[in-house]
Amino acid sequence: MYDATEDTYCYPGTPVLKNKLDLRTQAELDEFETFMSMQRAQEPLRKGRLTTNYYRAIHRHVFQDVYHWAGRIRTVRMTKGGSPFCFPENIDRQMHQIFSELEAENEFRDLTPEVFAAKAAHFLSELNAMHPFREGNGRTQTSFLLILADQAGHPLDLERLDPNAMLHAMIASFHGDETPLVELLLQLMRGR
């Protein structure tokens, strides 16, 4: 569960995020959000330059049916398990920096699988530490990762993804150990 200070995203006195259907229980919202985001995630996304705006467009696409703020950078400070994510006032600058680095590195094209996995794991780790959205960061990261890997010539097979392994790899990367994430990405590459 996330902790957010002065969370204007939630209905007063509850941890339930304000949503388009005005669902007031977490169970109802979870069910609706899961259903709608899975539906939207199945729709093809256009290919293009992998920029900050493109990343925000992925979030907007996946969560457009659920939240009015889909695709917008969060405005509250958040922590999870006592670990703080990037302060909202720094998110735009940090995102611009990592996406500029991604562009400078040709979006990780023409790399060996091992080098791609290491660079993609580091990028994903940085993006996760930013946590630019109030909700839906993991699903947006996964959608973006699929596009990044595909465009770089290292498509991933999400059918083989173990969600618990991914969660543990992301937590380890948040604390500075990207090795489990690199190994997981290598295992997900098609043809390996």
Q: Would you state the torsion angle of the CA atoms of residues 7, 8, 13, 19, taken in this order, to the nearest 10 degrees?
A: -110
Domain extent, residue 180, equals 2-188
Q: What is the DSSP string of 18-45?
A: P-TT---SHHHHHHHHHHHHHHHHHS--
CB environment 23-34: b (16+ within 10 A), e (fewer): beeeeebeebbe
Task: Supply the CATH number for residue 116's domain.
Answer: 1.10.3290.10
Helix residue ranges, H only, 74-191: 88-104, 113-130, 137-151, 163-174, 179-188
- Strand pairing class (83-84; 2-4): unpaired
The number of folded domains in the chain is 1
Enter the pTM of the model.
Answer: 0.92
Sequential pLDDT tens for the chain (192 residues): 555 556 999 999 999 999 999 999 999 999 999 999 999 988 988 877 899 999 999 999 999 999 999 999 999 999 988 889 999 999 999 999 999 999 999 999 999 999 999 999 999 999 999 999 999 999 999 999 999 999 999 999 989 999 999 999 999 999 999 999 999 999 999 765
